[in-house]
Structure formats: structure tokens, C-alpha cells
Amino acid sequence: MVIERKFVKDKTREYAVKDFLSRYLDRVGFSHIEIQKTPVGYTILIYSSKPGLIVGRHGINIKEIQDTLQKEFKLESPVVEVREVENQDLDPQIMAEKIGTQLTKFGVARFKAIGHKSIEKMMQVGAIGCEVKISGKVPSTRARFWKFRAGYLPKCGNVAISEVLKGFKAILLKSGIIGITVKLLPPGVKMPDQVYMKELKPATQEVKEAPKEEQKEAPKKKERKKVEHKEKKEKHKTEKTEAPKEEKKEGI
């Protein structure tokens, strides 16, 4: 029971750290974090689309994050590293944040254009399927939700649980709180019901080269055969010439 309690305690602390960083790094292109335990302490990897804003001047923001993690969450000598997301259009959390910033700039009236454009971006990059859900008072006075879909996106099964990436962002507008959910199936996922055809290569017969000794013996055999053939021809001629002479002698 002691070991189980330790595991539960570590997981609850990780969840609390992720929740704190997601709130602290709001509107900075925050994607996700990874917590790794080392012999010295903990290393926290923060993935973002704008790493320069997280680091700050001379790393002031990172020092503040390290101090709060050490005091409030009691992490031993935490080391924070910031990494940039390679393909931002394939990250659902970053895309949800972008949709939220566009809704705050242009208003709720243009939510359809924003939803369709974001889906086009994700599909152009190579996503198999994606879905954007905008819920709240959009655009009416009553709360409702709008869905924008493209491609193939499974809703149930192992692929939907383990392979589909999800991102959520809530923004506060004059009309109220609006929730943005983005689901994405990244490229390269092998579906269990997908059939792959293999291309069969044409069969080619390999011509084996004879060894050098056999290659040397081959011309000698040909010469012998030629000599034998000549000898047979000569014998056959001599037999023809001798046969009529004997017949003449008998006639005399």
C-alpha cells in the first residue's frame, strides 16, 4: 500500500504542476509539458509556439517558475527547459488558442470563417481528420455548439482513445464564456481496418557466371570438338573413295 500511495501522490502532483503551468503560461502558445525524473531532481520540458516569451529577458520567467515549483509543489531542484513546437498546425492545443485569439479580435459574428480556415490549415499540413467545436452563445443569446469537420476522424475504439489528439481553450467575451475544442488525427497513424497492398516485383532469373577455371577449359573443349569433327569428315571421304576401287577389281 505504501508504494501505491507514492504513485498516486506523484501523479496528483504532476497533474497539479500541469494545471499551474497551463494557467501561468496563458496566451503564450503553450502546448504541453513533460516531467522527467532524474537522479539529481526533476526536469520539466515545456513545449510552446513562442519560446522567447516564456523565457523572458535573461531567463527571469524561468527562474520564477523554478522557485514556485520548488516552494509550492516541493519538487527537488527543478530544471525548466523550453522547446519550440515543430509543426504548430498539427498541435490541437495551439490551434484552439489561435481560434480563441481570432474570436476575441474579430468577434463572434465571424466564427464560421474562422472555423473553416483553421480546418483547412490542419488538413493542408497532412492531418487525416480534424474537428473544431465552438460552444457557447455563438451567435445567438442562447448557448449552443457548432462543429466543423473534415477528413476521417474515429469517434470510438482504441484509435480514438490513444491516437486522436485533443485540445481545449476557454475564452471570456461580452456574451459569456466560449469553449473551443479541437480534435486531430495526425498523419502516419495506421488504422486497423485499412488494407495495404504490396507491390510484387517481377521475378528475375539470376545468371550465374562460371568460375574462371571452367571459363578457361571451355575454349579447349570447343577446339577438341572441332578437331574431332574434321577427323570424322576425313574418314568418311576416304571410305567413299576406297569402296568403288574394290568393285572395279572384282569386275575384272
More confident call, 74 vs 196:
74
Strands 78-84, 42-48: pairing kind? parallel
Question: What is the percent of the chain with per-residue pLDDT over 70, rounded to a whole number?
Answer: 84
Q: How long, in residues, is the chain?
A: 252
Give the separation between CA 208 and CA 103, rounded to whole angstroms.
Answer: 72
Q: Is the pTM of the predicted complex or chain greater than 0.85? A: no
165-179: pLDDT as tens digits = 999 999 988 888 999
**Domain extent listing, the chain:** 2-85, 89-185
Give the separation between CA 13 and CA 69, rounded to whole angstroms.
Answer: 10
**Mean per-residue pLDDT, 77-105:** 90
Please say if the pLDDT value at position 239 is more than 90: no
- Can you list the pairs that 114-117 forms with residues at least 24 positions away whose Cβ atoms lie under 8 Å? 115/146, 115/148, 116/148
pLDDT band, very low/low/confident/very high, at 251 (cuts 50, 70, 90) = very low
pLDDT band, very low/low/confident/very high, at 240 (cuts 50, 70, 90) = low
Identify the CATH homologous superfamily for domain 2-85: K homology (KH) domain (3.30.300.20)
What pLDDT was estimated at residue 119? 94
pLDDT band, very low/low/confident/very high, at 249 (cuts 50, 70, 90) = very low
Residues 6, 9, 14, 17: what is their CA dihedral angle, to the nearest 10 degrees?
A: -140
119-157: pLDDT as tens digits = 999 999 999 999 999 999 888 788 889 999 999 999 988
* Interior/surface letters 62-80, b for 16+ CB within 10 angstroms, e for the rest: beebbebbeeeeebeebbb
Domain 89-185 top-level CATH class: alpha beta
Please say if the pLDDT value at position 204 is more than 80: no
**Mean per-residue pLDDT, 85-94:** 90
Please say if the pLDDT value at position 164 is more than 90: yes
More confident call, 211 vs 75:
75
Cβ-proximal residues to 219 (8 Å cutoff; 6+ apart), any chain: none
**Mean per-residue pLDDT, 9-27:** 86
DSSP three-state, residue 39:
coil
